[in-house]
Structure 1
Amino acid sequence: MSESATLLDLSLTRRILILASVVLGSTLYATTLLVASTLLPQMQGTMAATADEIAWTTTFNILATAIVTPMTGYLVTRFGRRRVMLVCVSGFTLATWLCGQADSLETVVLWRILQGGIGAPVIPLANAIVLDSFPRRQAGLVSSIFGMTVVLGPAIGPVFGGMLAEAYNWRWAFYMIVPAGVLAAVALRLTLPADRPGIRIPLDWTGFLALATAIACVQLVLSRGQRLDWYDSPEIILETCLAVLAFYVFLAHSLTTARPFLNLGLLLNRDYALGMVLVFIYGMVNFTPIVLLPSLLQQHAGYPDSIIGVIVGYRGIGGIIGFASTLLIGRWDPRLGMGIGFGLLVVSGLWLASLDLNVGVEVLLLNAVLQGVAVGIIWVPLTVMTFRSLESRHMAEAMALFHLLRNIGSSLFISLSVAEIIQATTMNYSRMTELVTPYNRVLTTPGLMGGWTIETLPGLAALSREINRQAAMIGYVNAFGMYTLASAAAILLVLLARRRPRPA
């Protein structure tokens, strides 16, 4: 009897408890994805580290997650879903507690690596368990419930983490996860059915090491490229060359060996291949506003951290509305649901690109809700369309690749957006300051310059700050334009999806 058949043979109550357990575990892991970004200033002061050094706590966590995620399929085949899920949630909870206990930069980086690596299989495996625990006709409903973890976790993590860090210190942002992690591990132990005997298959070390090297190099390029001035740095050039070479080795080996680390034959399934492209774009546009808006509002618009946290939190409210909407939209053609969701993202991107530095809170709150509704609506039809014609035995491996591409898309687009902001700020600041001369009549006309003047050093300094703010705003507008174009491109790809599923 297959493992999926075992899950379907359980009572409805047992399956609902399994759903609640895996949703809790995956939500906790998703919460930590962005929570560390709000803690970096406090952690930097505690560890007496430079900005570049403290950034390794995030960089290595992302690296460990990206490297281990593709191993989900192998681990499930070798050890079973229940055992892997229990070990990952328990290990992740322990690593999170150790992060709060860390007293040096080296130890916090080490525990962040463990946290990302051992917890990496949680989300793809939880997603696979959810889909296999219920009949395919209920895939939309359970995907909607599970999808909240993907959207709400990163949205609520920085909010509650920032509040605890402000009230106590950064360690409590990690401690808040531990009790819920223990509860999730106990619930999984009690609800998940026993595993069938694992299959002792050898690990394809060549494929695994080649893919791990390629992913690690790509993530290093994306994480460190901006600080090292991209391809003016020998390190970035070396990492790019290694990534290309390692990925070529992985492809050549996977296409010629009998038992590859990852089954690339899954990409011959049209629904799955298209879903991989769409989830890559979904990853690009999902987290980008969460990362860009706080820096814009704090550094250039003068918003306090508390208000920024509320704005991010409203995106979670929109996500709940979006997922609730899928209870109706899920009955429709998946193309229609994805088209509506990406269309709303286009609207939100155009709206963001039209803002200026005098934007009011109510506008930002409404836009955040719109973003949340959009990503909530997209997730369910995207998941259903991608996996509707795959066999259950491929689910864990296919789901691991699905979430890996989502994470890589996020890292790539955030790096490109930040690079565009910095480049546009520098270029536009240089161009605008060329006009600040005594020969510019506008600058010497009484009544036109307001509180700025070029006749005193304090006046010049104030004018320089204002020019920098406006130059930065141009960079953010460009980044939001890229966000809009990516969302619009996804709408065109949605049209390639099949209307009805083929039999599995």
Structure 2
Amino acid sequence: MSLLQAAEHNGPLPRERTFYESLKNVLRGDIPLRPVVAVIAVLTGTMMTSWHTRLFSMALMDLRGVWGLGGDEASILSTVANALQLMVAPAIPMAVVIFGPRKVLLWPGLIFAAVCICIPMVQDQRSLLLLNGIAAVTLGCFVPATLTTIFRSLAPKYWLVAVAFYTARLTVSLHSGVTMADFYVENLGWQFIYWQSAVSSILLVMLVLFSIPEQKFNAEAFKGMDRIGAILMCTALTLVFAGLDQGNRLNWFDSWIIIGLIGGGIFLFGVFLLWQLVVPNPFAHPRVVAHANVIAPMTLGIFYSLVSFGSAYLIPNFLGTVGHLKGIQSGQFLWIIVAAQVVLLPASVWLIRRMEARLVLAFAVACMMVGCFMGTFITHEWVARDFLSIVFCFSLGTSFGFLAVMAISVGNGNPKEIVSVLAYVQIPRVVGPTFASAVLATLLTKREAMHAAWLSHYIDPGREIVREALTGGLSTISSVVSREAYVLAFRDAYTFCFWAGFGALLLILLMKHSPPNPMTPSGYILPATPEHTERSKP
């Protein structure tokens, strides 16, 4: 018998049979859990979400011209691209329990990649709204699934390290996005904002395929799930987010739209809380956040956002408005904060494992308060290098602060109710930064108008400096008044952020000592449970 006949008689070679069988097992999810790769996968999705959201926000002014959008249309597009994340985010931890992390991450990853490939090819405004809305819904799946996957996959002693990478992505995306958005638009093309996200999403899908096994459908959890509560909470938070995002443009409560959005959202959230008290199997009962050490860090997240925006929001806006610099120029010094976050990441983990997280958080807030205090002395002569001392203070604060907040929040929660706690975590995670940016934007607008009116009363044509300015025409003196009004407005904003930091310190004083848990110095080295021991085996 010839070799060819023998091959046909005996079938394919064992190596080929093994390859195809392995491929089928991977596609079916019939694989062992690879904890480290699984955590890398969810952290990839988290970073992709934060970076895509930040790049889209910073490049929106350029995208307006590309798509031919007016100011109102671009603002609505931005709200759609962000608010719809909350339509699913609070329910994702429960979805992970019911369907498993593989399905929750895999299908949204594929859909998001396809949408990011399609968006640069369309110009119709309705199509843009639809596609960006779909992208927002899929993005809302990744961040909430991260903590659930971390706690289910890793042994407790590794939780703090994984959470440290989870918290670092916020600082990295906020401060790097200022320059990266301009770099893409001016050098590579605005399409790369979406293509980069598509590549990241494909990478996420590949990591999930090879690391997270298929989980059996949890029919019992699905049957007992409080669907009405989930719908009420998701809808309420989405409405409040949309109202906050559009508030400054529509002059807040002078607009019935804002009243309807925020008022309707608060009303639905109140109905949600009442529903949780009477339903047999509540989606997220209020008692899970009734503990002072759980509700205080969540409230603190709003104050923390206000203080931390002294670097990510106020510095590039000042240099752009007063210094007339582009984003790629004004954001260069913010890379110092990014570098500090990367370098100090091991130090933050080391410190929280050996010191009470409240002290670490107080130190971080105090550092940012010092930076805000320095910001109250800015003048129109300040250039990027003059913000170096402020950036240094915020580098220390952001490197230690967010991880300390998460360590306190997670460490004080009941492990049996972690799914419900993570539903409430979406409020400070998504609504907090939007509230902070809305408050600061409104504060700058109102204070600039007020200072411009006050300064106009001090223009005395008899003074020599005023006569010299008037030689250039009324437009010259008007531009000087406008510039100084903006400087004073930014001073007021830094003063506001300073006092927000003071409010954060008061909340820290109200917190109690955390019980021993994997996030505390006294409890992070715990004996591995049989479940985690089994999961850790290769």
| In structure 2, C-alpha distance between the alignment counterparts of 1:21 and 1:204, rounded to whole Å | 29
Residue of structure 1 equivalent to 2:431: 408
The equivalent position to 1:279 in structure 2, one of 281, 301, 316, is 301
Residue of structure 2 equivalent to 1:141: 161
Q: Alpha-carbon deviation of 1:451?
A: 5.0
Unmatched 5+ stretches in structure 1: 1-9
Q: Does 1:452 align with 2:469?
A: yes
| In structure 2, C-alpha distance between the alignment counterparts of 1:140 and 1:203, rounded to whole Å | 30
| In structure 2, C-alpha distance between the alignment counterparts of 1:399 and 1:18, rounded to whole Å | 19
Q: Which amino acid aligns with 2:442?
A: A
Matched residue of 2:88: which SS?
Answer: helix
Q: Does 1:434 align with 2:448?
A: no
Q: Alpha-carbon deviation of 1:288?
A: 5.5
Q: Alpha-carbon deviation of 1:437?
A: 4.6
1:380-399 paired onto structure 2 within 5 Å? 380-399=403-422
| In structure 2, C-alpha distance between the alignment counterparts of 1:279 and 1:296, rounded to whole Å | 24
Q: 1:287 to 1:143 in 2, by over 3 A?
A: same
Q: 1:372 to 1:87 in 2, by over 3 A?
A: farther
User: Is contact 1:124–1:396 with CA below 8 Å preserved after alignment?
Assistant: no
The equivalent position to 2:97 in structure 1, one of 77, 85, 88, is 77
Q: Which amino acid aligns with 2:294?
A: Y
Residue of structure 1 equivalent to 2:5: none
User: Is contact 2:112–2:198 with CA below 8 Å preserved after alignment?
Assistant: no
| In structure 1, C-alpha distance between the alignment counterparts of 2:105 and 2:498, rounded to whole Å | 37
The equivalent position to 1:473 in structure 2, one of 481, 487, 490, is 487
TM-score when normalising by structure 1? 0.89
1:284-363 paired onto structure 2 within 5 Å? 284-287=306-309, 289-330=311-352, 331-363=354-386
Q: Deviations over 1:426-460 (max 9, x none)?
A: 1111121123354xx32xx3xx348512xx5x432
RMSD: 2.4
Residue of structure 2 equivalent to 1:4: none
Residue of structure 2 equivalent to 1:377: 400
Residue of structure 1 equivalent to 2:263: 241
Matched residue of 2:284: which SS?
Answer: coil
Q: 1:270 to 1:225 in 2, by over 3 A?
A: closer
Q: 1:325 to 1:288 in 2, by over 3 A?
A: same
| In structure 2, C-alpha distance between the alignment counterparts of 1:84 and 1:240, rounded to whole Å | 30
| In structure 2, C-alpha distance between the alignment counterparts of 1:305 and 1:283, rounded to whole Å | 21
User: Is contact 2:90–2:426 with CA below 8 Å preserved after alignment?
Assistant: no
User: Is contact 2:88–2:137 with CA below 8 Å preserved after alignment?
Assistant: yes
Q: Which amino acid aligns with 2:515?
A: P
User: Is contact 1:279–1:402 with CA below 8 Å preserved after alignment?
Assistant: no
Residue of structure 2 equivalent to 1:122: 142
Residue of structure 1 equivalent to 2:73: 53
Q: Alpha-carbon deviation of 1:136?
A: 2.8
Q: Which amino acid aligns with 1:390?
A: G
Q: Deviations over 1:39-71 (max 9, x none)?
A: 222221122211110112211122101222111
Q: 1:182 to 1:227 in 2, by over 3 A?
A: same
Q: Alpha-carbon deviation of 1:392?
A: 4.1
Q: Alpha-carbon deviation of 1:30?
A: 0.9
Q: 1:21 to 1:248 in 2, by over 3 A?
A: closer
Residue of structure 2 equivalent to 1:35: 55
| In structure 1, C-alpha distance between the alignment counterparts of 2:118 and 2:421, rounded to whole Å | 32
Q: Alpha-carbon deviation of 1:231?
A: 1.8
Q: Which amino acid aligns with 2:437?
A: I
1:204-219 paired onto structure 2 within 5 Å? 204-219=226-241
Matched residue of 1:195: which SS?
Answer: coil
| In structure 2, C-alpha distance between the alignment counterparts of 1:386 and 1:394, rounded to whole Å | 13
Q: Alpha-carbon deviation of 1:200?
A: 2.3
Residue of structure 2 equivalent to 1:5: none
| In structure 1, C-alpha distance between the alignment counterparts of 2:273 and 2:282, rounded to whole Å | 10
Q: Does 1:498 align with 2:512?
A: yes
| In structure 2, C-alpha distance between the alignment counterparts of 1:497 and 1:132, rounded to whole Å | 27
Query: 424-433 or 253-262, which moves further after superposition?
Result: 253-262
| In structure 2, C-alpha distance between the alignment counterparts of 1:92 and 1:372, rounded to whole Å | 33
How many pairs are equivalent? 484
The equivalent position to 2:497 in structure 1, one of 478, 483, 496, is 483
Q: Does 1:101 align with 2:121?
A: yes
Query: 202-211 or 374-383, which moves further after superposition?
Result: 202-211
Q: Alpha-carbon deviation of 1:238?
A: 2.7
Q: Alpha-carbon deviation of 1:471?
A: 0.6
User: Is contact 1:334–1:381 with CA below 8 Å preserved after alignment?
Assistant: yes
User: Is contact 2:293–2:514 with CA below 8 Å preserved after alignment?
Assistant: no
Q: Deviations over 1:234-271 (max 9, x none)?
A: 22223333223222211211111112232322113443
| In structure 2, C-alpha distance between the alignment counterparts of 1:211 and 1:314, rounded to whole Å | 38
| In structure 2, C-alpha distance between the alignment counterparts of 1:503 and 1:297, rounded to whole Å | 44
Unmatched 5+ stretches in structure 2: 1-31, 519-538
| In structure 2, C-alpha distance between the alignment counterparts of 1:345 and 1:243, rounded to whole Å | 32
Matched residue of 1:55: which SS?
Answer: helix
Q: Percent identity?
A: 17
Q: Alpha-carbon deviation of 1:186?
A: 0.3
